[in-house]
Amino acid sequence: MEHVIELRSVERSFVTEPDFADRVASMFGAKSNAKTLRAVDGIDLTIGPSEVVGLVGESGCGKSTLGRIVAGILPQDKGDVLFNGRMLADKTKLKDGSGLGIQMIFQNPASALDPRQKIGDAIAEAPVAHGLTQRSGARKFALSALQRVGLGEDALDRFPHEFSGGQRQRICIARALAVDPRVVVCDEAVASLDVSIQAQIINLFLDLKQELNLSYLFISHDISVIEHVADRVAVMYLGQIVEIGATRELLENPQHPYTKALLAEVPTLDKNLSEEHALKGELPSPLNPPSGCRFHTRCPVATATCRLERPALEHWKCDHQVRCHVVTAGKQNSGC
């Protein structure tokens, strides 16, 4: 299968500001203590045509950073991001519209929209700027984008505050799709909505995927949402993918102790994962991640090797990869 998106060994770090104690210490002559935090650490990932890849993991594990890299709005430090087989340029430097093929939808539709801009203008702005429609045809263009997400002509001249949260997210989706992307990165795109509205927006995403042959990177902390939308699921822990596989396979046959712990916290999934799998301890600071396997400080089956050697992401089955010494030591020949 040809990939629409391909990430090869992608890394991204942030230099964090010195904290209060560091600043006080530096006033007394101590060396300034800016620290480097590796938010995304060696990610290999593909997304196929019309495929939905779900991305899950605890807060701070690097999901949004990875999503922004895929969307081309945050450059990676190392590694390659390919879109339709070609190297993705830093979108922040592109002025010609060639970065429009990947769009991103965020958690909070209220802050994603300019409160002083009419909805019709917000939707038509990028298509007009990039020559996808003439200014004279902008209103009609915006209307057809709104109709695609279930809104009508009366929305064109209204302002964001006149809509509910669900309607505002529909407007953000209409705006993203107005430039005819191939890939949409959804970052907690339903998290701020009421549960009943969440279901409507998820169904809208799935209908639009069918209609427009879209691919999604679907980021969510809610595994039951991911179960519903994703063809494959990637589980992240401290900047790395620790398990990835076809959704049904991964959710019914999780191998990595961290995935088991995440699934044990979702009672509705009822996967027979008990108390012994539950997550223990705090998430270590990403400024100082554990040696060896990054999960060893919380893992119920860690061995001495786990503290020393970094496990690689290896095939467990053809449609299922795991980053764990214990799992891969006991694996049969995956045949892949």
39 lines the binding site for ligand ATP (CB under 6 A): yes
Whether the Cβ atoms of residue 212 and residue 160 lie closer than 8 Å to each other = no
Which residue(s) pair with 102 in the sheet? 183
**Separation of alpha carbons 70 and 241, rounded Å:** 15
- Shorter beta-carbon distance to ligand ATP: residue 174 or 226: 226
Positions 280 through 299 that interact with ligand ATP (CB under 6 A): 286
Paired sense of beta strands 183-187 and 102-105, if any: parallel
Q: Which range in 115-123, 260-268, 276-284, 292-300 contacts ligand SF4 by CB under 6 A? A: 292-300
For residue 64, state whether it binds ligand ATP (rule: CB under 6 A): yes
Residues in 225-284 that interact with Mg ion by CB under 5 A: none
Tokens at 153, concatenated: 């002509």
Residue 221's binding partner out of ligand SF4, ligand ATP, Mg ion, none, with CB under 5 to 8 Å set by partner kind: ligand ATP
262 binds, among Mg ion, ligand SF4, ligand ATP, none (CB under 5 to 8 A by kind): none
Neighbours of 11 (CB within 10 A): 16
Q: Which phi and psi angles does 330 have, rounded to 5°?
A: -100, 10
CA distance 263 to 265: 5
Task: Name the region of 103 (left: φ>0; alpha: ψ -120 to 50; beta: rest).
Answer: beta
Query: Helix (H, G, I), strand (E, B), or coil: what is residue 6?
Result: strand
Q: How far is the CB of 226 from ligand ATP (least distance, A)?
A: 13
Q: Does 262 bind ligand SF4 (CB under 6 A)?
A: no
Nearer to Mg ion, 64 or 321 (CB): 64
Smallest gap, in angstroms, from Cβ of residue 328 to ligand SF4?
9
List residues near ligand ATP by CB under 6 A.
14, 16, 37, 39, 57, 59-65, 221, 286
